[in-house]
Amino acid sequence: MTSRFKRPVTPVRILLASAWPALSLAVTACVSGGAIDVRVPTVASSNVSVSVHDERGSLDPKRAAAVVRKLDASGEAGLLALHLREVESAISEPLTLGNDARLLIDGPQTQAAMLRAVAEAHHSVELETYILEPAGMGDRLAALLAAKRADGVTVRVLYDSIGSLSTPSAYFERLRAAGIEVCEFNPVSPSRLQSDSRLSINNRDHRKLLIVDNQVAFTGGINISGVYSSSSFGRKSKTDVRESGWRDTQVYVRGPVAGQFRALFDTNWHSQHCGDEFGIPRTASESDAPRAGSMAVRLVAADPLAQRSELYVALLSAVELARHRVWLTYGYFAPDERLLRALRGAAQRGVDVRLMLPGFSDFWAPLYAGRAHYSALLDAGIRLFERRDALLHAKTVVIDGVWSSVGSTNLDWRSLVHNYEADLLVLDARFAKEMEALFMLDESAAQEVLNSEWRQRGIGSRLLEWLARRWEYFL
């Protein structure tokens, strides 16, 4: 049998020559194979009270406990009560009731929903993104934001300096000329540096947030970029999959949790000294979003200065407590040893663990860093799938038919240690069912990686895996 994994993406001799300085640094630093240094609870107490809010504010402990019991009964595994107590001390925002969350698949669907939400804005629009470029959505969004600003809507835009490095300065000047407040996160140029002096060039704002009127919000993996011009499903041609039609997921949410999104945006905005020291005053209609549905959700964030990755803590707990299914979809997968142990342990106790991963990437190293773990995962009984017909960039999880996450956090050291990230956790059986259906749709378009075939891959692939594994802390 001929292995599909034998051909390296670049000549090995050239690759080693170009990567050797960074490889030496990584080996010297002994960064491979360790554990993420974030605060992880080790003991769950039955006496811990879970903080629960609704559109009126905080619920008293008795009502909060009743909500948790009801949520626990809605899932298949009874995972939630113990899980929520276990992560309570590590997550800043409370569990929030009364929301409605909708999945958005790929660029065209997401862009249409975002443009529609902005068009309906009455008071404020906040956009925080890693990549903001004119191509496609960027120009349309700029024109719409300018029109809303002319109507008196307050508009703030926060973009990452590295992620948007190739964007012409004229694009940002166009926004400013329209009266839009524009701020650059952790500028590369020392002359523009205004942010927290503790940040290094390695600390990037990888969040993708849009908040409108403090009523609705978006998060996920989708940047404002031309690569999202078409869908990743049902494509007639596969010749341009690296340039457009990336496979990605976003979530649109209405309800009280929108206030958590705005508070997170405000924190980053002020950390960069972008202005509005005390924030933009909110009108009565903005102050608190009304109940919009029946979903219990919470926003989780990563803050490298605080050594905090709330998704990491929540995901680790959910995997360790899972009893039936753990299905993960990640565009970048190079996790630490503790999370790998949790995934292998779940599979070995009979949980259906599946990973949907990319078959190619916009950068070779993260792809091979992830593949370096395939043998151990396959040996543990985990099923691996690769999307090779579209560039997979999504970051989603669904566990036991009730616990889901959608956001910007990848399962790699960059997201979990170096970046600012944001993800929405949804504790709802109906939403989880939609997430499972989406995973199955990806599975129908993917190729499964079989252990017998994987063992036959060539020496070139094995060498690239070894090299990327040594370097994964920096990826």
Give the active site residues. Answer: 206, 208, 213, 393, 395, 400
Q: Confirm if 214 and 258 have CB atoms less than 8 A apart.
A: yes
Distance between CA atoms of residues 180 and 173, nearest Å: 10
- Phi, psi angle pair for 409, to nearest 5°: -80, 125
Helices (H) and strands (E) in the chain — how many of each? 16, 18
Amino acid at site 433: K
Contacts of 356 (CB under 8 A, 6+ apart): 327, 328, 329, 330, 385, 386, 387, 392, 439, 442, 443, 446
Distance between CA atoms of residues 133 and 103, nearest Å: 24
Q: How is residue 424 written in tokens?
A: 């929405």
Distance between CA atoms of residues 222 and 452, nearest Å: 35
Distance between CA atoms of residues 307 and 295, nearest Å: 29
Alpha-carbon distance values, 392 to 45, 113, 351, 365 (Å): 39, 21, 24, 15
Q: Confirm if 120 and 321 have CB atoms less than 8 A apart.
A: no
Alpha-carbon distance values, 174 to 148, 181, 336 (Å): 14, 11, 42
Distance between CA atoms of residues 171 and 48, nearest Å: 50
Contacts of 34 (CB under 8 A, 6+ apart): 336, 337
Chain centroid to Cα 450, Å, comes to 27
Q: Which of 170, 171, 165, 213 is nearest to 185 (CA)?
A: 165
Please give the full DSSP string across 295-332, using - where no structure is assigned: EEEEEEEEEGGGTEEHHHHHHHHHHHH-SSEEEEEESS
